[in-house]
Structures are given as structure tokens and as C-alpha cells.
Amino acid sequence: MTAVIETRDLTKTYGTVRALDGLSLSIPRGGVYGVLGPNGAGKSTLFRILLGLIKPTSGSASVMGGAVGDIAAGRRMGSMIETPRYPPYMTARQVLEWLSIAHGLKSDSQRIDRWLDRVGLTEASNRRVRGFSVGMLQRLGVAAALITEPELIILDEPTSGMDPPGIQEMRALIRSLADTDGITVILASHQLLEVQRVCDRVAIMNRGKLVREGSVTELTATGERLRLSLTPMAQALSVLGDKGTIEGNAILAAIPRAEAPALLRALIGQGIDIDEARWVGADLESVFMTETGSIQTPETIHAR
């Protein structure tokens, strides 16, 4: 599978802060690829480098086979980074006309109409953007990213500021871009459920590094854990060691199924009362929380 984006040891520092720390990532062509990470993980820095807005401190990155800054490669890519803004005196249609011209295309009203329709802005097409809500700006941002009919688009938080029906429409649009239009979509979002529903593959970043990468199915399948409702929890955690994590009023034990009987015997042997034990599949959120260190571990519990 050819890669649309490749980075090798990509590093970006701001003073003493390493926003990207030797990131090596390969994003395959086709489908929807999610880039996840907590605030400060380096997602936006990565996108800004890929768009040529900032230069990396070291390492290399390529987009569509060309180095970052290669105009021919850049013309095959569209993007929407954070909430987009536009000259307030322009209408939505004029924004798309302007960007078409800026990108070397002839102004094509049919193409503009088509994308306005697909993002649900047909009725607002002749309104000035100064009166647009954040959600409408997001929709226009997606249309602006697509107006050149690129092979790759980068969408950073495309549903931010949208209402639930809008989020659902955007999710369907993103899926159809990949499935119907054959566009590779790279999506960054904090809404993990949305990512799990719409993405084919996911990269999880933390502190400028890639901590996990794979298909959503792979990531969630490998996270099957034994959910134990028991008391006292602290004693159980000492038995489980680094295999146990707290989730609400229960403990999740990351063990193979074959080890479950021995574990249960050990817990009972320690005088621990087990109310319930059942296997749960991991969702992307729990994988994310584990990989980014956002979850409570035995160490954090004992430290209290």
C-alpha cells in the first residue's frame, strides 16, 4: 500500500518544549485515518509541518510522494486546520470562488454548488461569512478543503462547534469521501467515539511521539480485559500489579483468558470478595486512555 504521508524522525522544538519528538509515521492511501492524542500531543504541529506553515527542527516529511513544500504535491492535498476563518466581507460562494482561483482552477459554479450542497450550505451560500456560526464555518472549511477535489484531505476537529445532527452529517460525509470519492481523509478529533465509528486506522500520539498505530479493529481487539467488581480494590491491585487499572468502581485486568482462573483463585485466596467478573472488549477510548497515560494505574492509586 503506498503512503500518502511519511515522516521520519520528525522533530519540532519550541524553545525547550519538544512538540514533536522523533515522529516516524506512515499513513497509507485510502480510507479514513485518525490521529489521536491529548492536548499537546503534537497533532496540530504535525499538520502545520505537513502544510508548510512551519518548518521542522529536524527529520523529514513527505506528502503525496513529494517533500513538504513541494507545490505539485501540495496541490493534491486539501486541509482544514482548527476553526477556519475567512475574509468577513465575502459570501460562502465567494470564498470558494476565491480559493478555486488561488489554487489555479477556473471558477466553476457547478463544482462550487456541488460542494456547498454536500456540506449543507446551499441556503447560506450567498450570505457573508461574518454572520456564520462556528459550525457553519466548519462546514465551509470542509468545502474549501475539497473544492480542488484533492486526493488527500486533512481535517482537524471538523465537528467542533456542530450540533448532534450536524456531527452525524459530517461523519457520513467523511465516510462517503473515502468510500465514494476515493479521497484519503486524515482526521484529528477529540471525540473518540466519532473516530472509532468513522476511521479505518488510527495513530495515537502522546508528547510528540507515536505510541500506537493500527486499524481500529486491531487496536480494540487486543484490548480485551477482565472486568472485576470486587472489594477491597487496593488489595486486588497489588495482586494484579501493572496488569490492573481502575475503571469506575471496577478493575480491568489485562490478562489472557487462559490466566483468568488462576487470577481468580489468587484473589479469592487473598480474601477478596468478587461480586462480578466478565470479559469486556476495549473501545478506542480505553485504548487511548491507556496509551496516553490518562488512566488510573495501581501506582497512582497507591500514591494517594
Binding site for other proteins (CB under 8 A): 44, 48, 51-55, 71, 74-75, 77, 79, 81, 84-90, 94, 97-99, 101-104, 144, 148
Give CA–CA dist 200/265, Å, rounded. Answer: 39
- As measured in angstroms, the least distance from the Cβ of 79 to other proteins is 7
Q: Give every strand in the sheet of 250-253, ordered side by side.
A: 244-247, 250-253, 225-231, 273-280
Half-sphere exposure (Cβ direction) of 254: Cα atoms closer than 13 Å: 17
CA distances to 192, 273, 275, 278, 303 from 246, in Å:
20, 16, 16, 15, 14
Closer residue to other proteins, CB minimum distance, 105 or 255 = 105
- As measured in angstroms, the least distance from the Cβ of 27 to other proteins is 16
The number of residues in the chain equals 304
- At 192, which amino acid appears? L
Closer residue to other proteins, CB minimum distance, 103 or 190 = 103
Closer residue to other proteins, CB minimum distance, 60 or 222 = 60
- As measured in angstroms, the least distance from the Cβ of 169 to other proteins is 23
- As measured in angstroms, the least distance from the Cβ of 12 to other proteins is 10
- As measured in angstroms, the least distance from the Cβ of 76 to other proteins is 9
Closer residue to other proteins, CB minimum distance, 103 or 114 = 103
Closer residue to other proteins, CB minimum distance, 94 or 235 = 94
Residue 280 near residue 227, CB atoms below 8 Å: yes
- At 91, which amino acid appears? T
